[in-house]
Chains A and B, each alone.
Chain A
Amino acid sequence: MASKQQDVKDLVERKYRHGFVTDIESDTLPPGIDEDVIRHISQVKGEPQFMLDWRLKAYRLWQDMQAPNWAKLKLEPIDYQAISYYSAPKKDENAPKSLDEVDPKLLETYDKLGIPLHERARLAGVAVDAVFDSVSVTTTFKDKLADAGVIFCSFSEAVKQHPELIERYLGTVVPQRDNFFAALNSAVFTDGSFVYVPKGVRCPMELSTYFRINAANTGQFERTLIIADEGSHVSYLEGCTAPQRDENQLHAAVVELIAEKDAEIKYSTVQNWYPGDENGRGGIYNFVTKRGDCRGDRSKISWTQVEAGSAITWKYPSCILRGAQSVGEFYSVAVTNNYQQADTGTKMIHIGPGTRSTIISKGISAGQAQNAYRGLVKMMPTAENARNYTQCDSLLMGNQCGAHTFPYMEIKNPSAIVEHEATTSKIADDQLFYCRQRGLSEEDAVNMIVNGFCKEVFRELPMEFAVEAQNLMNVSLEGAVG
Chain B
Amino acid sequence: MIIDISNLHASVNGTEIIKGLNLQIGPGEVHAIMGPNGSGKSTLAQTLAGKSDYEVTAGTVTYKGADLLALEADERARAGLFLGFQYPVEIPGVSNVYMLKAALNARRKAKGLAEIDSVEFMRFVREKAKLMQLDQSFLSRGVNEGFSGGEKKRNEIFQMAVLEPDLAILDETDSGLDIDALKVVANGVNAQRDGERAFLLITHYQRLLDYIKPDYVHVLANGRIVRSGTHELALELEANGYDGVLAAAG
Q: How many A-B contacts are there with CB distance less than 8 Å?
A: 78
Q: A448-B94, A452-B142 are in contact. Are A442 and B74 (CB under 8 A)?
A: yes
Which of B72, B89, B100, B103 makes the CB contact (< 8 A) with A430?
Answer: B89
Contact present for B102 and A433 (CB under 8 Å) = no
In the complex, whether A439 has a CB less than 8 A from a CB of chain B is: yes
A441 touches B91 (CB 8 A): no
Interface size on B, residues (CB 8 A): 32
Assess whether A455 is interfacial by the CB under 8 Å rule.
Answer: yes
Minimum CB distance partner of B77 in chain A = A439
Are A436 and B72 in contact, CB atoms less than 8 angstroms apart?
yes
Q: CB-CB contacts of B69-100 with A at 8 A, as 1s and 0s?
A: 00011101110001101001101111000111
Closest beta carbon of chain A to B48's beta carbon, Å: 10
**B90 to chain A: closest residue by CB:** A431
Q: Tell me whether A441 and B74 are in contact (CB under 8 A).
A: yes
Q: Which of A431, A437, A448, A453 contacts B102 (CB 8 A)?
A: A448
| B173 CB–A CB distance under 8 Å | no
A438 within 8 Å of B (CB atoms): yes
Tell me whether B94 and A440 are in contact (CB under 8 A): no
Q: Verify B163–A438 contact, CB threshold 8 A.
A: yes
Contact in complex: B88, A440 (CB < 8 Å)? no
Q: Which single member of B89, B94, B163 contacts A428 (CB below 8 Å)?
A: B89
Residues in B10-54 with C-beta less than 8 Å from chain A: 49-53
Q: Cα distance A444–B71 when bound, in Å?
A: 17
How close is B142's CB to chain A, nearest CB, in angstroms?
Answer: 7
**Pairwise interchain contact A453-B103, C-beta atoms closer than 8 A:** no
**B203 contacts A by Cβ under 8 Å:** no
Mark contacts of A444-459 with chain B using CB atoms, 8 A cut-off: 1 yes-contact digit, 0 otherwise: 1100110111111000
Chain B CB within 8 A of A434 CB:
yes
B110 located at the interface, meaning its Cβ lies under 8 Å from any Cβ of chain A in the complex: yes
Q: Which of A429, A434, A444, A454 contacts B91 (CB 8 A)?
A: A434
- State whether A444 and B142 are in contact (beta carbons under 8 Å apart), knowing that A430-B89, A452-B94 are contacts in the complex: no
A439 close to B99 (CB less than 8 A): no
The distance in angstroms between the C-alpha atoms of A429 and B53, with both chains bound, is 10
| Distance of A439 Cα from B103 Cα, bound (Å) | 5
Contact A439 B74 (CB under 8 A): yes
| B233 interface residue (CB < 8 Å to A) | no
Taking the closest CB of chain A, its distance from the CB of B145, in whole angstroms, is 9
A441 to B105 Cα, complex, angstroms: 12
**Which residue of chain A lies nearest to B78 when distances are taken between CB atoms in the complex?**
A439
Does B106 lie within 8 Å of A452, measured CB to CB?
Answer: no
Residue with the greatest number of chain A CB neighbours at <10 A, chosen from B77, B142, B159: B77
Check if A439 sits within 8 Å of B89, measured CB to CB: no
CA–CA, A441 to B76, complex, Å? 11
In the complex, A347→B100 CA distance in Å? 40
Q: B224 at the A/B interface (Cβ < 8 Å)?
A: no
Instruction: Taking A439-B110, A441-B106, A448-B94 as given, write out 11 further A-B residue pairs in contact, using a Cβ cutoff of 8 Å, ordered by the A residue number.
Output: A436-B74, A437-B83, A438-B100, A439-B106, A440-B102, A444-B106, A448-B91, A448-B98, A448-B99, A449-B94, A452-B93
Report 7 cross-chain contacts, Cβ distance below 8 Å, ordered by A residue.
A430-B89, A433-B49, A437-B73, A437-B74, A438-B99, A440-B103, A448-B91
B residues sitting closer than 8 Å to A (CB atoms) are 49-53, 72-74, 76-78, 82-83, 85, 88-89, 91-94, 98-100, 102-103, 106-107, 110, 142-143, 159, 163
- Identify the 10 closest CB pairs spanning chains A and B, nearest first: A452-B93, A452-B94, A455-B93, A438-B103, A439-B106, A439-B77, A436-B74, A436-B73, A439-B78, A439-B103
